[in-house]
Amino acid sequence: MAFEYLGVDLPIREKTISSHRMSWEVIASPGRWWTGAERVEIARIGRAARDFDAVGSDILLEAAVFAIQKLVVDNANLNPEWYQEIIASEGMTEDRYVELVAVVVHALSIDEFHRALGLELESLPQPVGGNPTCERPAEAEQRSSWPPIVPKSGLNHGDEMLYGPMEWGANVISALSLIPENVRWLHDLSEGHYLSFAEMRMPDPLRAISRPQIELIAARVSALNECFY
Amino acid sequence: MLRESSNRSDALDSLNLQGTVNPDADSGVPHGSLLTAFAEAAVRQTDALPGLREQIVSELGVQELVDAAGVVANFQRMVRIADGCGIPLDEFTRDATDDCREELGLHEYASAANTA
């Protein structure tokens, strides 16, 4: 089983471990627009990029590899022109881009947790066979972010509450919703690394560090990445 | 979120938001300088990281270290979602942070262009 943390003398929370395992399963499985093998390859290219190792790929086209590397090492300098160029490239669409971003950032986040604690990175998962479903939600609309997003009614059954009271969710929550499964994934790993949706409303959630300490770290990481949002 | 959580915290007399953008500024958050130094070392993957881990364990505790690492990991993801999708600030955030964004120099960031 992945993420056993054998021999690791750190109190890693159960929710953190379960969210890591869930993420590895999701990455390894076929998505809506990429196969499991392609998704694992996306994670591999992203992991190498974090070490400034611009590796190539036998199965991903150049634009996908470039997009992964840019997202990992130069995210502060992305712009709408770059996005339009990427999605117009051979083998890319806005749907495939959104799925790629989700795999890159979730895999990166888990690796970053390990790096911050000085732990070895987990071996990437073995891909699961099968074809992508190639299904785009009918409710998808172009709103204020670059890719289209879906409203609450376009989310998977049971996930509607993940948008809270807002029909289109907060911008960062709905950003990857063109692949509706991403919204659940986003929340699950947030709970594993940061706070659950319910805890985000609490002034003093059950963590070892205080809420102001949590938010100070969050703000510092955002500033280091020059992220306006 | 930092300002709102600080307003509701008994452990904080006054918050200095400069502590989020300037590593030399005291945020007013207990152990804030140590935690932001850890965040910076983790994001930049510097040689200071192992020593800062030890310092957090020594001054705060090992669960505090693990939770701090989780927050770093989470926001390494969230910033890339925001930047990779070109999302603007939500209206409620834009209104609530109008006064401090200028002060902190956030409009200099390239991603500020995503918010009209």
- Specify the amino acid at residue A5: Y
CB A39 within 8 A of CB A31: yes
Asked, for residue A33, whether it belongs to a domain, the answer is yes
* pLDDT tens digits, one per residue of B67-115: 999 999 999 999 999 999 999 988 878 777 777 777 878 788 888 888 8
CB contact under 8 A, B69 and A189: no
Asked, for residue A226, whether it belongs to a domain, the answer is no
User: DSSP letters along B69-111, please?
Assistant: HHHHHHHHHHHHHHHHHTPPPPHHHHHHTHHHHHHHTGGGSGG
- Specify the amino acid at residue B24: D
Please state the domain count of chain A: 1
Among B residues 85-114, those touching chain A with beta carbons less than 8 Å apart = 85-90, 101, 104, 106-107, 109-114
ipTM of the complex: 0.96
Q: A47 by DSSP, 3-state: which?
A: helix
pTM: 0.94
Give the span between the Cα atoms of A215 and A221, in whole angstroms.
Answer: 10
* pLDDT tens digits, one per residue of A33-59: 999 999 999 999 999 999 999 999 999
According to DSSP, the residues that pair with A149 across neighbouring strands are A141
Residue of A nearest to B44 (CA): A224
Asked, for residue A155, whether it belongs to a domain, the answer is yes
Asked, for residue A211, whether it belongs to a domain, the answer is no
Asked, for residue A116, whether it belongs to a domain, the answer is yes
Using CA atoms, how far residue B58 sits from A173, B33, B51, B61, in Å, is 36, 15, 10, 6
Asked, for residue A58, whether it belongs to a domain, the answer is yes
Asked, for residue A218, whether it belongs to a domain, the answer is no
Per the structure block, which two tokens stand in for A134? 């190639």
- Listed in order, strand segments (DSSP E) in chain A are none
Asked, for residue A34, whether it belongs to a domain, the answer is yes
The range of the structural domain enclosing residue A150 comes to 14-193
